Amino acid sequence: MNISSPKRVAVLRGGPSHEYDVSLRTGGEVLKHLPEGYVGLDVLIDKAGVWHIHGLPKSPEKILAHADVVFNALHGHFGEDGKVHHILEMHGMPHTGSPVLPSALGMNKSLAKNIFAKYGIRTPHFETLHKDDMTNARVREIFTTLPHPAIVKPVSGGSSLGVKLVTTIPELVDALEEAFAYGEKVVVEEYISGREATCGVIAGYRDESLYSLPVFEVKKPLGDLVHTFDHKINNEAEFSHQSLTPLEKAEAKRTALLAHKALGLSHYSRADMIVHPKRGVYLLEVNSQPSLALGSAFTYGLEQVGSSLSHFLDHVLVRAMKRV
């Protein structure tokens, strides 16, 4: 009787982004919960972009030569914007996540919003500002164009890094300067009050072409109008199913599924939305590689449908190796 060898999974974590610590947690959970039939290879990419295995720096091609498939547990710049996907695809290495272009589009909030508009998906009204265009006249123009308060956020980034709520021009200037530390483009969008909802999407799960995890509210810290980086990285969020009506959940689910399709994403994603009591559901952004750390919204969604992280990992890795 032939017993097949376990599949070698190179788990990429760390990376040269501000979400280094978030990625370490996601990668750690992936390594911990790999199901039977897989053996994990812990691949650390440091903040300078150097790849390591067994504590030693090695070139990507030498590391990948020892793997059958890659689980991309990176977040943010390099790991989520198509750059590492390009490296993996250049080496013919099957990997989890989406291809280069959908990943890049999903990471760029400005481009993604334009795509969502073509599909009839509502997002907050916004303006995009390049660092080189930050003049007093342009800042004042943005301030007078948008309703207030407004949200300032880097075009590419996650975990609420560089996100600020502003109500005055001096606050806007300070927030823009902080956001530009994370990239050369910034989005300024209207702040829509309401409950923040999230919904995970998995391709090909449970015999559905696109399977939706439950929609639920992600409660903000008491007294805060927006989620903070510390709140997210420490997985301190509280989740609630009771605060959203069946109609709101149905609209949020439809939005998450449509957004996944609109961007051309592959294995899984998570949509973050605002549910206004009168205006309905507005899509904030889609995360093509959401955190899988313990206590994260995505893993909570898996638990709510009676699944497990191990079962999800097996599903995604099988699809990656089949290149679907």
Q: Which residue has the tokens 């709520």?
A: 165
Say whether both 12 and 92 belong to one domain.
yes
pLDDT tens-digit series, residues 47-65: 999 999 999 999 999 999 9
Please give the Cα distance from 275 to 195 (Å, whole number).
Answer: 5
Mean predicted lDDT score pLDDT of the chain = 93
Helix axes 109-118, 100-107, angle to 10 degrees: 100
Say whether both 249 and 110 belong to one domain.
yes
pLDDT tens-digit series, residues 305-322: 999 999 999 999 999 999
Please give the Cα distance from 10 to 41 (Å, whole number).
Answer: 5
What's the number of domains the chain is made of?
3
Confidence of residue 1 (pLDDT cuts 50, 70, 90): very low
- 295 is a domain residue: no
**pLDDT of amino acid 159:** 59
Say whether both 108 and 221 belong to one domain.
yes
pLDDT tens-digit series, residues 200-216: 999 999 999 999 999 99
Say whether both 217 and 111 belong to one domain.
yes
Cis peptide before 149 (omega within 30 of 0): yes
Please give the Cα distance from 321 to 324 (Å, whole number).
Answer: 8
Q: CATH number of the domain that 186 lies in? A: 3.30.1490.20
Residue 129 has pLDDT above 50, yes or no: yes
**pLDDT of amino acid 162:** 83
- 312 is a domain residue: no
**pLDDT of amino acid 257:** 98
pLDDT tens-digit series, residues 228-240: 555 555 556 789 9
**pLDDT of amino acid 224:** 59
Kindly state the tokens that stand for 181. 């530390």
Burial of 36 (0-12, 13-18, 19+ CB in 10 A): exposed
Structural domain range at position 30? 7-97
Q: How far apart, in Å, do the first and last CA atoms of the chain sit? A: 30
Kindly state the tokens that stand for 94. 């099957």
Q: Which residues contact 155 (CB under 8 A, 6 or more apart)?
A: 108, 109, 110, 128, 183, 185, 186, 187
Q: What is the DSSP string of 242-288?
A: TTS-HHHHHHHHHHHHHHHHHHT--SEEEEEEEEETTTEEEEEEEES
Say whether both 198 and 179 belong to one domain.
no
High-pLDDT (> 90) share of the chain, %: 87
Please give the Cα distance from 20 to 31 (Å, whole number).
Answer: 16
Confidence of residue 2 (pLDDT cuts 50, 70, 90): very low
User: Residue 39: enclosing H or E segment and its boundaries?
Assistant: strand 38-45
CA 182 to mean position of chain CA atoms: 16
**pLDDT of amino acid 228:** 53
Can you tell me the mean pLDDT for 262-272?
Answer: 98
pLDDT tens-digit series, residues 5-22: 899 999 999 999 989 999
Say whether both 186 and 200 belong to one domain.
no
Can you tell me the mean pLDDT for 98-108?
Answer: 95
CA 25 to mean position of chain CA atoms: 14
Residue 14: which of 40, 63, 47 has the closest Cα?
A: 47
Can you tell me the mean pLDDT for 286-308?
Answer: 96
Where b means 16+ CB within 10 Å and e means fewer, 239-266 reads beeeebeeebbebbbebbbbbbebbebb
Residue 256 has pLDDT above 90, yes or no: yes
